[in-house]
Amino acid sequence: MTQVAKPVTEATKPRLLFFYKSNDGKARRVEGYLAQVLQRRQNHETFVIHRVDVDQRPDLVARFEIEATPSFVVVNAKQIQGRLERPRNAMEIQSLLTPWLRR
């Protein structure tokens, strides 16, 4: 019996939560690093990206136990699959996201 692959939809894509402070210049730089990582091998559609302003959503900051900004959390199948706080460069972000990126 062969299994049919399930189509990838918004509901089945991993979620990438980006926690930031709106007045933080480092957060803008980190967003640039993220764009660079996703642009390689055309990974823009790999994740559903949610940008979370920590001042607007303290409930999510507490729920995901965010201690520093900017931070990334990867949620897949309703479970936290990865976390990165205060990335310093694109390589750190790529390392976090490698399991989901096209090769």
The string of pLDDT tens digits covering residues 32-89 is: 999 999 998 899 899 999 999 999 999 999 999 999 999 999 999 999 999 999 999 9
Domains of the chain in sequence order = 15-100 (3.40.30.10)
CB 58 within 8 A of CB 102: no
pLDDT of residue 6: 55
- CA dist list (Å): 53 to 42, 57, 67, 70: 26, 6, 13, 10
Query: pTM of this prediction?
Result: 0.87
Of the listed ranges 15-24, 55-64, 94-103, the least confidently predicted one is: 94-103
Task: Give which of 12, 9, 8 is closest to 75, Cα–Cα.
Answer: 12
Question: Is the pLDDT score of 91 beyond 80?
Answer: yes
**Residues in the chain, total:** 103
Mean pLDDT across the stretch 3-27? 83
Q: Report the alpha-carbon distance of residue 73 to residue 67 in Å, rounded.
A: 12
Q: Are 70 and 87 in contact (CB under 8 A)?
A: yes
Q: Which helix (H) or strand (E) holds 49?
A: strand 48-53
Q: So what's the pLDDT on residue 66?
A: 98
CB neighbourhood size of 72 (10 A): 23
What's the rounded mean pLDDT across residues 18-26? 95
